[in-house]
Chains A and B, each alone.
Chain A
Amino acid sequence: MPEAEVIPLHGPSRRGVTSTAPAGAGGADNNGRVRPPARPSIVEHPPARVKSDSWLPDLSELLGFFRRRLTGEYEVDEFGFDAELTETVIYPPLRIIADKWFRVETSGLDNLPASGGALVVANHSGTLPWDAVMTCLAVHDGHPAERHLRMLAADLVFQLPGLGSLARKSGQTLACHPDAERLLASGELVGVWPEGFKGIGKPFADRYKLQRFGRGGFVSAALRSGVPIVPCSIVGAEEIYPKLADIKPLARLLGMPYFPVTPFFPWFGPLGAIPLPTKWHIEFSEPIDTTEFGEQAAEDPMLVFNLTDQVRERIQHTLYRGLARRRSVFRG
């Protein structure tokens, strides 16, 4: 059993990591976009995916899309994932938010396999799951194979009318062992936020302090499927809604896990639900191989606990490092 490794807080600095940077950093990349000379190792959020001169979709393409939607000529997988709808309707508005509002930067995408299953484990925060949505988009847009991150969501999501079907259509499914293992076995990238409601609903004072990682179910799923675990740390999401207090009776009345009080919500009504425009950085760390432990490893609770701690530790350290590097919450 490997010990949880110690990651130096002030590891290789941002400017130091130049291995993946093009030689002519600071010049123009192959899209003709001028790259800023600073932070060469970081992939700017929408990478090279400019398809045509016009950003308006082709009219006949649009008509074809409408015809397919109206006649039901599209494919939905057994989890309800509708790739066409996700890429055509759901992602474009989210892309604007990712680019213009949160200015999401992604690094370490090469730690995600080009094909085959992997389990992405990330920190959860922000009262509303913007972090999950943005990570999903970052993986799809930044990964060379344009992979879809299939996220595991709480059952509350599937109880809510509208949200449940939207979640299924965008590739999410219930966070349970059978679903996770089925997705991993079919070679999908699966995203999990093991802190759950404890993480997403944590008060502002506890930002970037990882909560308990559930019961380590995600580790045993990865062990059983023999897929690598990719720790992912998201810096920036924990400040989008500074949750100062929690009105528990109201939450119980509405059947919600918490009722947040932020400087803007509920005082400004729906306007208070606009997230603060913090600067985000999503970092995928080196994958943790699970095949070395063998198939029976999932039956060893101690190993599962240790591995859970190891993943948690790694995310926590990457978070601290990201925070130490960050100069401003809003400007990055």
Chain B
Amino acid sequence: MASNVVLVTGVGGHLGGRLVARLANNPNIERVIGVDTVAPTMRLLERMGRAEFVRADIRNPLIAKVISNADVDTVVHASCTAHPAGPGRRTAIKEMNVIGTMQLLAACQRAPKVRKLVVKSTAAVYGASSRAPAVFTEDSKLVPSSSSGYSKDAVEVEGYVRGFSRRRPDVDVTVVRLTNLIGPSVDTVLTRYFSLPITPSVFGSDARMQFLHADDALTVLEQATLTKNPGVFNVGGDGVLTLSQAIRRARRFEVPVPRSVMPVAGRVFSGAPLVDFSTDQLQLLNFGRVVDTTRLKQDFGYTPKYSTREAFDDYVNGRALRPVVGTSWLSGLERRLGSGAPAT
């Protein structure tokens, strides 16, 4: 069952744009249509090649026309902003996420040619708290961390997607729950956070973090588009880094601050409101979140190439973050004492 006409939403975003570029290079796909409210950058437009870009708002019923006129059979919904960078306008993002999804799904339901739907969701649907299990499987309860954050949006979006798959059982629905994206070119609150020379952390907590390299996320989305794999899948790199460990690996300087001071601290240390901690983010930095990826490996058939640690190191090296905390003197001292310390 080869996909012929693929529609991708959210091509202005990092993942959506790269996904369209990849699909456009696939000769088996007849047509690739990218949709977003903002035009992609020139660089991305060049890479998109033969893919078409339609400037449309998925909150508008017009999207139904695009789908039916182009005989779209595969819809990839990658426009949900799960990890907005910088202070996003909350209401606008919520509109885009929830209302946009509703419109898109309504359009898909009316289009008889649609056979497959791929939804990019987020592991934030599981929330993060002191009462949550250490590792979430796909069957874990969805408990958004806050009543108004992006995790709440994602839970609502997934609810609508479930409703859609109930009403259109003939459509293969694949939902991928991505953990925090990281990589040299990813711009999210977290990547900005780790590039702060002085990194504030919640006092008395050391969250377990799981990262997903952007390349792996892209491959998963591509594979979900090209192959038949209905279901819900957690996607994340193997292994765990604690927050303090990640900060040390980035050679940053960690300053524990009380939780209530975190948003202010983020602003103070970055010099500008570049890092905007929402409640969701604070919960994550406080309690952490780890997902089980057995189903991804066994049923979906993909093992992420980067482990959490490798993905994070790739981000640190790719960004060329200058070390704030030097540690070379330690290994030097160790070598002089005659134990085989690796050169750093």
Residues of A at the B interface (CB closer than 8 Å) are 59-61, 63-64, 66-67, 69-72, 74-80, 82, 155, 158-165, 168-169, 173-174, 176, 178-179, 182
Contacts and interface: CB of A to CB of B under 8 A. Distances in A.
Contacts of B338: 60
Interface in B238-261: 239-242, 244-249, 251
A182 B344 CA distance: 36
Nearest 3 Cβ contacts at the A-B interface: A161-B204, A72-B248, A72-B249
B135 A161 contact: no
Contact of B208 (A60, A71, A168, A178): A168
A253 B246 CA distance: 37
Contacts of A72: 241, 244-249
A286 B318 CA distance: 55
Contact of B140 (A59, A70, A164, A178): A178
B135 A179 contact: yes
Given A71-B327, A72-B246, A165-B205, A60 B334 contact: yes
A157 to B, nearest CB: 8
Interface string B186-224: 000000000000000011111010000000000000000
Interface in B70-97: none
22 contacts: A63-B337, A63-B339, A63-B341, A67-B327, A69-B248, A71-B251, A72-B246, A72-B249, A76-B242, A77-B240, A78-B134, A79-B208, A80-B240, A155-B130, A160-B204, A162-B204, A163-B204, A164-B204, A164-B205, A169-B206, A176-B133, A178-B134
Nearest to B337: A60
B251 to A, nearest CB: 8
Contacts of A59: 337
Contacts of B245: 72, 74, 76
Contact of B135 (A66, A67, A76, A78): A78
B132 interface: yes
B203 A161 contact: yes
- Interface-centre pick from B131, B203, B338 (highest chain A CB count, 10 A): B131
B333 interface: yes
B134 A174 contact: yes
A58 B130 CA distance: 38
Contacts, number: 105
B50 to A, nearest CB: 43
Nearest to B325: A70
A158 B130 contact: yes
A179 B339 CA distance: 39
A76 B327 CA distance: 21
B33 to A, nearest CB: 40
Contacts of B137: 178
A298 B229 CA distance: 32
B288 interface: yes
Contacts of B247: 72
Contacts of A182: 133-135, 292
Contact of A159 (B130, B140, B203, B290): B130
Given A59-B337, A70-B330, A178-B140, A80 B135 contact: no
B284 to A, nearest CB: 14
Interface of B: 130-135, 137, 140, 202-206, 208, 239-242, 244-249, 251, 287-288, 290, 292, 325, 327, 330-331, 333-334, 337-339, 341, 344
B339 A78 contact: no
Contact of B330 (A66, A75, A165, A179): A66
A78 to B, nearest CB: 5
A179 B240 CA distance: 16
Contacts of B333: 63
Nearest to A59: B337
A75 B135 CA distance: 17
B26 to A, nearest CB: 35
Nearest to A79: B134
Contacts of B327: 67, 70-71
A191 B306 CA distance: 33
A76 B344 CA distance: 21
A60 B330 CA distance: 10
A159 to B, nearest CB: 4
A80 B135 CA distance: 10
A75 B241 CA distance: 8
Given A67-B330, A78-B208, A182-B133, 18 more contacts: A60-B334, A63-B337, A64-B341, A67-B331, A67-B334, A67-B341, A74-B245, A78-B290, A79-B208, A82-B242, A158-B130, A159-B130, A161-B203, A169-B206, A174-B134, A178-B133, A178-B137, A182-B135
A76 B249 contact: no
Given A67-B334, A78-B240, A178 B135 contact: yes
A173 B130 CA distance: 10
Given A60-B334, A70-B330, A72-B241, A174 B133 contact: yes
Contacts of A179: 133-135
A76 B290 CA distance: 12
Nearest to B249: A72
B178 to A, nearest CB: 17
A155 B133 CA distance: 10
Contacts of B334: 60, 63-64, 67
Contacts of B341: 63-64, 67
